[in-house]
Structure 1
Amino acid sequence: MNSKKKGPPKNLAAGRPPVLHRAKSISRTATKALINKHHLLQKRKRQAIAKGDKAEEAAIDAEIEALGGLERYQEASLQGQRHDRGGDSSRVLMQWLGTTLSSHKSESGRCLRMLEVGALSTQNACSKSGHFDIERIDLNSQGEGILEQDFMERPLPRDESERFDIISLSLVLNFVPEPKDRGEMLRRTTQFLRVPGRYIDSPRLAANFPSLFLVLPAPCVTNSRYLDEERLAAIMKTLGYALVESKTTQRLVYYLWRRVRVCKGPGPAFPKREIRSGSTRNNFAVVLS
């Protein structure tokens, strides 16, 4: 394991699991336990670095090594990513939009522009549908057709031609380390979407676009101390979004948010505030400053 010490994470890559293309088979229970333990150790390590506690940092590095080091964590991360992602989440999006997209394609012959953040494959349901012109990015590109890029460092669109009809943010927000950075990621999506009202000549498109497809592990919303669906909806409303579709399964929550207005000012703040108590709750939060 590389023992070089680094400062506090400055970009989203610090919160995402690394990629290893040939993962060994790990049981689901062991995968979850190892990933959770590693994330806890990484959080403690960031705190130790922030305090300048070299002894604590070295002790945490030793714990990580005892777990099998980076190689073992990479194996668990890739395996866990499969479980967490619940297969191809874009199938749900296609179920919601299939009829609308088919009508649009037959009438205009044009594809809609999609930005897929955290793309894993070029062969998912959206890619195969033929309805989207897709630009795919990921922090750790896993293949041709996926640009290695941090969404938070992506250059802003210069004009409307560089904006998108829809952004896919599937199991990306939960890998962002800090709550305030999650809020900023959601805020930043609005800068890459087309302006509301563009689809005035197509009522079906206007009912669904421009939009954000957001997927999270279900416990982030259903079992968090700091976030529930009501608070998430309030945050999204502040950013100019309205809920179009939603679906909750045992593992995942899926949302389609339509951008309905352009926000002129910063809007109300959403600090980290406990809304549900209990020892079994998790600490997932989204903060808007």
Structure 2
Amino acid sequence: MAVKKKGPPKSLAAGRPPIFQRTKSISRKSTKALINRHHLLEKRKRQAIAKGDKAEEIAIDAEITALGGIGRYQEASLQGQRHDRGGDSSWVLMEWLQSCLSSEEGTIRGRRLRMLEVGALSTQNACSKSGRFDIERIDLNSQGEGILQQDFMERPLPQDETELFDIISLSLVLNFVPEPKERGAMLRRTTQFLHPAGRYRVAPGLATDFPSLFLVLPAPCVTNSRYLDDERLASIMASLGYSKVASKTTQRLVYYLWRRNSDGEGTPGPFPKREIRSGPKRNNFAVVLD
């Protein structure tokens, strides 16, 4: 009887039962298209609700469901945080804060700094793993434990000092707010959740960076917009009492760390939607402060 030839040895994984199914990866192009389409539909839905057009609202809901609903959108967002897609934006923040957080004055009266992470997708990012922060995480559509489902614009205002934060993270959040005036309102609202600047006199090592706002946007929002550039953004932030501590621009993203310098508003506005760059290939991203 002929002897059967043995094939190549199988890997250990091949002999294991299928305990879990890996999430199918979404290509970068598909990820971007899905997220953009989802937010366009959400914007159209808000407009339909404002007009009282129930038929349009139902039709848009059906299209969102056909795309996979919020679950598919959240999956695409998480794919964007993979290391091969640019990774976790909070690594940049931790690099900027490394010096002051590693000093003996890296706490306030012996406690860790408080962070509010708006639009949180994970409890395992660089800030979470650092052990330097007590973090409250919120998202409009929370998909995981440790992340509260909450709209930042509807979050109750702090009632006392214990409900204030040392730093707020708005990483890839502002660009998904549909209207320019609403983006300005969101930036203004961050000041109501931060400690006053004078708090850090007891820890001078922290005073150069806190209280602060970590802001991340897609690079074209600042580098290729008709209505916003770096100088314009700095003026808007100055009007809210912020000054730029650090910034970084890559091909895909712009990162900023803004320190709150005053409790009231600084440079007077208003900042209407005004063209500062011309050209047919510019985008229309804008931030408006009345």
Q: State if a TM-score over 0.5 links the two structures.
A: yes
Q: TM-score, normalised by structure 1?
A: 0.81
Q: Percent identity?
A: 74
2 CA distance for matches of 1:267 and 1:252? 28
Residue 223 of structure 1 aligns with which residue?
Answer: 224
2 CA distance for matches of 1:165 and 1:130? 15
Structure 2 residue 70 is matched with structure 1 residue 69: no
The structure-2 alpha-carbon separation of the partners of 1:257 and 1:70, relative to structure 1 and needing over 3 Å to count, comes to same
Residue 256 of structure 1 aligns with which residue?
Answer: 257
Deviation at 1:91, TM superposition (A): 0.9
The structure-2 alpha-carbon separation of the partners of 1:282 and 1:78, relative to structure 1 and needing over 3 Å to count, comes to farther
Which structure has the greater CA radius of gyration?
Answer: 2
- What is the RMSD of the two structures over their aligned residues, measured on CA atoms? 2.8
2 CA distance for matches of 1:83 and 1:59? 28
The structure-2 alpha-carbon separation of the partners of 1:202 and 1:80, relative to structure 1 and needing over 3 Å to count, comes to closer
State whether residues 119 and 146 of structure 1, in contact with CA within 8 Å, keep that contact through their aligned partners in structure 2. yes
Residue 190 of structure 2 aligns with which residue?
Answer: 189
1 CA distance for matches of 2:118 and 2:236? 20
- Deviation per CA, 1:10-41: give whole Å up to 9, x if none: xxxxxxxxxxxx86433222333344345445
Higher relative contact order structure (alpha carbons within 8 Å, sequence separation ≥ 6): 1
- Deviation per CA, 1:264-288: give whole Å up to 9, x if none: 6994111111111122111111111
Length, aligned pairs only: 265
- Deviation per CA, 1:33-86: give whole Å up to 9, x if none: 344345445545555555566777777678x37xx8131785355325533783
2 CA distance for matches of 1:107 and 1:270? 35
Q: TM-score, normalised by structure 2?
A: 0.80
| 1:26-41 matched pairs, under 5 angstroms | 26-41=26-41
- Deviation per CA, 1:170-212: give whole Å up to 9, x if none: 1111111111111111000000100111111322211111100
Q: Give the counterpart letter for 2:245 in structure 1.
A: V
The structure-2 alpha-carbon separation of the partners of 1:219 and 1:158, relative to structure 1 and needing over 3 Å to count, comes to same
Deviation at 1:223, TM superposition (A): 1.0
Structure 2 alignment gaps of length 5 or more: 1-21
The structure-2 alpha-carbon separation of the partners of 1:229 and 1:209, relative to structure 1 and needing over 3 Å to count, comes to same
Structure 1 alignment gaps of length 5 or more: 1-21
Residue 285 of structure 1 aligns with which residue?
Answer: 286
State whether residues 166 and 193 of structure 1, in contact with CA within 8 Å, keep that contact through their aligned partners in structure 2. yes
